[in-house]
């Protein structure tokens, strides 16, 4: 039986155009999904948009359009971005779709029916942040000017009082703490896990899970005038995406529980406290793991509309193209930590890792094969130096695999670069271009280098897929021999295979001149 792997991103609010933080999450999750496919796993990758809630209503009103019009316009932008980033999602869920309404109403019914009722009716009185779509306790707030109050996220909160349904989250404290203990891998990175354990240990309050002051949401079954709190329906997208409420469906049985939810650090409580509690209440298995990544800043500063420094991923793609943007996100930022989008660092990364290291190795070895062997891959008669570099490659790819299994994406990308550095050193030391009088030796070095490029390019498919495919095409690697097992195997492309003339794959970028 093939292993399965189900991975998701958070679903973004389409109240505006996507920013680089959204692109970052799509790219990193895509690398994880692509790696699982390279491992030969039957992989399902879901992303989408979270279209309900008061924030959508208010933004739409300010623009003089309906929430649905706003959702339609911006969901299209998120989809378009996923396409341009070469994101390999299998589905794109929109929470306004009928399948998702059905699914959310079913999880609600199950929660209402469980433990003699995990859902009860009362009145909510408290603080709400529209920007975060979240409730806050008085103690968490800070005071601003004019009596305004602010959530720890910096968003203004408003007092709300309304008739509402509640979820009995307080009853789940022990079960949640047991989950974190029994399954130490459930929350990553470690510091986030500790933060959540302390939060839950401090005690949990029941959560208000319906709203009555607006109607842009999923109707609560059997309770007219109530729509679900946006987070109840948002989290449910992860099961809708694999066929819930048809829990007997092949897809649901195959992919649920999800292997991994990738999210940002600001929404960890929703995913590691509310979500498992909702699922336990509904009698549905909880996901295996939630990984919280950090936030990207722009040239060292927090991105904000008021500062006007929000990085538009489309602009970056226009300037640099898809794979350099992907590589920067995957290599420059330690996955799980905050990172920065900075032009100088971007150009350095691209030029050193992609153009000078990867690109040069491939170009120099392949063009020398064209020049001296008419494009036919020479025979290798390996000496110790060749055995050593091949062993280095296999070990590096093994390390990449271990790193990817715990979402240490930047480490995996770093291993790839270390391998390519070693291969460039091998190539420079052996200096094949000076061996015209010893063609068999020259051929050995070129064939070995081409084989290292093949192995590296197979692994690189998770990171820079279009460029990796170009290398693999240039090496005449058949489509069905591009899995991780092929990158680790003893043999590669047979000697004598005629290779097409190589084309440069990566470009160097110039640093803008200081003015």
DSSP category for residue 300: T
**Shortest separation between residue 506's beta carbon and ligand ME8, angstroms:** 25
**Shortest separation between residue 78's beta carbon and ligand ME8, angstroms:** 9
Interface with ligand ME8 (CB under 6 A), residue from 5, 6, 7, 12: 12
Sign of the alpha-carbon torsion through 43, 10, 321, 299: negative
Give the range of 7-15, 208-216, 356-364, 507-515 binding ligand ME8 by CB under 6 A: 7-15
Query: Is the distance from CB of 400 to CB of 460 less than 8 angstroms?
Result: no
Nearest residue (CB) to ligand ME8, 155 versus 422: 155
Question: Interaction with ligand ME8 in 278-337: which residues (CB under 6 A)?
Answer: 295-296, 303
**Shortest separation between residue 234's beta carbon and ligand ME8, angstroms:** 4
| Phi and psi angles of residue 180, each rounded to the nearest 5 degrees, phi first | -65, -35
C-alpha 88/C-alpha 261 separation (Å) is 16
Query: Is the distance from CB of 43 to CB of 88 less than 8 angstroms?
Result: no
C-alpha 454/C-alpha 450 separation (Å) is 6
If one asks whether residue 458 binds ligand ME8 (CB under 6 A), the answer comes out as: no
Find the helix or strand (DSSP H, E) in which 134 lies.
strand 134-136
Nearest residue (CB) to ligand ME8, 303 versus 505: 303
**Shortest separation between residue 243's beta carbon and ligand ME8, angstroms:** 18
Give the range of 22-30, 191-199, 280-288, 425-433 binding ligand ME8 by CB under 6 A: 22-30
Query: Is the distance from CB of 24 to CB of 329 less than 8 angstroms?
Result: yes
Residues 6+ apart with CB under 8 A from 74: 14, 15, 16, 17, 49
Nearest residue (CB) to ligand ME8, 10 versus 227: 10
If one asks whether residue 51 binds ligand ME8 (CB under 6 A), the answer comes out as: no
288: closest CA among 324, 261, 323? 261
* Crossing angle between the packed helical segments 20-38 and 409-430, to the nearest 10 degrees: 70
Nearest residue (CB) to ligand ME8, 263 versus 277: 263
If one asks whether residue 60 binds ligand ME8 (CB under 6 A), the answer comes out as: no
**Shortest separation between residue 407's beta carbon and ligand ME8, angstroms:** 14
Interface with ligand ME8 (CB under 6 A), residue from 54, 234, 390, 423: 234
Query: Is the distance from CB of 456 to CB of 423 less than 8 angstroms?
Result: yes
If one asks whether residue 38 binds ligand ME8 (CB under 6 A), the answer comes out as: no
Give the range of 11-19, 86-94, 373-381, 448-456 binding ligand ME8 by CB under 6 A: 11-19
147: closest CA among 123, 127, 163? 127
If one asks whether residue 162 binds ligand ME8 (CB under 6 A), the answer comes out as: no
**Shortest separation between residue 23's beta carbon and ligand ME8, angstroms:** 9
If one asks whether residue 92 binds ligand ME8 (CB under 6 A), the answer comes out as: no
If one asks whether residue 22 binds ligand ME8 (CB under 6 A), the answer comes out as: yes
Binding positions for ATP: 301
Give the range of 230-238, 244-252, 355-363, 460-468 binding ligand ME8 by CB under 6 A: 230-238
Q: DSSP E strands: which ranges in 168-242? A: 187-188, 207-208, 210-211, 227-228
Nearest residue (CB) to ligand ME8, 27 versus 462: 27
Nearest residue (CB) to ligand ME8, 95 versus 449: 95
Q: What share of the chain is helix, strand, coil (3-state, %, to 5)?
A: 50, 15, 35
Give Cα separations from 312 to 18, 24, 242, 349, 483 (angstroms): 7, 12, 31, 19, 34
**Shortest separation between residue 270's beta carbon and ligand ME8, angstroms:** 7
- Contact residues for ligand ME8, defined by CB under 6 A: 10-13, 21-22, 24-25, 50, 234-235, 237, 263-264, 266-267, 295-296, 303
């Amino acid at each position: 039986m093939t292993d399965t792997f189900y991975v998701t991103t958070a679903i973004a609010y389409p109240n505006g155009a996507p920013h680089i933080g959204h692109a970052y999450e799509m790219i990193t999750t895509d690398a994880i999904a692509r790696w699982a496919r390279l491992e030969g796993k039957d992989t399902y990758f879901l992303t989408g948009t979270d279209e309900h809630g008061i924030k959508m209503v208010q933004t739409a009103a300010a623009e003089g359009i309906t929430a649905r019009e706003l959702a339609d316009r911006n969901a299209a932008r998120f989809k378009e971005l996923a396409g341009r980033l070469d994101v390999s999602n299998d589905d794109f869920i929109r929470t306004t779709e009928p399948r998702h309404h059905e699914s959310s109403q079913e999880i609600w019914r199950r929660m209402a029916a469980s433990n003699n009722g995990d859902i009860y009716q009362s009145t909510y009185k408290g603080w709400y942040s529209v920007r975060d779509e979240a409730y806050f306790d008085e103690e968490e707030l800070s005071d601003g000017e004019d009596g305004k109050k602010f959530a720890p996220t910096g968003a203004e909160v408003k007092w709300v009082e309304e008739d509402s349904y509640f979820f009995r989250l307080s009853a789940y404290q022990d079960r949640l703490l047991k989950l974190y203990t029994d399954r130490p891998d459930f929350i990553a990175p470690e510091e986030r896990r500790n933060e959540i354990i302390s939060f839950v240990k401090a005690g949990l309050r029941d959560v208000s899970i319906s709203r009555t002051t607006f109607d842009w949401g999923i109707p609560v079954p059997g309770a007219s005038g109530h729509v679900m709190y946006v987070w109840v329906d948002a989290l449910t997208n992860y099961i809708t995406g694999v066929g819930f409420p048809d829990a007997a469906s092949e897809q649901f049985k195959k992919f649920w529980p999800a292997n991994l939810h990738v999210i940002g650090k600001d929404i960890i409580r929703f995913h590691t406290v509310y979500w498992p509690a909702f699922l336990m209440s509904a009698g549905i298995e909880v996901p295996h793991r939630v990984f919280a990544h950090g936030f990207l800043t722009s040239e060292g500063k927090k991105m904000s509309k008021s500062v006007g420094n929000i990085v538009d991923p489309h602009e970056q793609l226009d300037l640099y193209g898809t794979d350099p943007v992907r590589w920067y996100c995957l290599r420059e930022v330690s996955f799980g930590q905050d990172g920065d989008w900075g032009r100088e660092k971007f150009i350095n990364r691209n030029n050193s890792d992609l153009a000078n290291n990867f690109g040069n190795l491939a170009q120099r070895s392949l063009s020398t094969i064209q020049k001296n062997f008419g494009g036919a891959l020479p025979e290798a008669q390996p000496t110790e130096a060749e055995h050593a570099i091949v062993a280095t490659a296999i070990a590096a790819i093994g390390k990449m695999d271990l790193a990817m299994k715990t979402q240490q994406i930047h480490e995996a990308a770093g291993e790839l670069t270390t391998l390519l550095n070693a291969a460039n050193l091998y190539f420079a030391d052996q200096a094949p271009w000076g061996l015209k009088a010893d063609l068999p030796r020259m051929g050995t070095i070129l064939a070995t280098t081409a084989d290292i490029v093949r192995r590296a390019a197979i692994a690189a498919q998770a990171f820079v897929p279009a460029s990796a495919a170009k290398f693999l095409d240039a090496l005449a690697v058949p489509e069905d021999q591009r899995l991780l097992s092929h990158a680790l195997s003893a043999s590669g492309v047979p000697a004598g295979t005629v290779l097409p003339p190589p084309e440069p794959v990566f470009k160097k970028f110039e640093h803008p001149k200081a003015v």
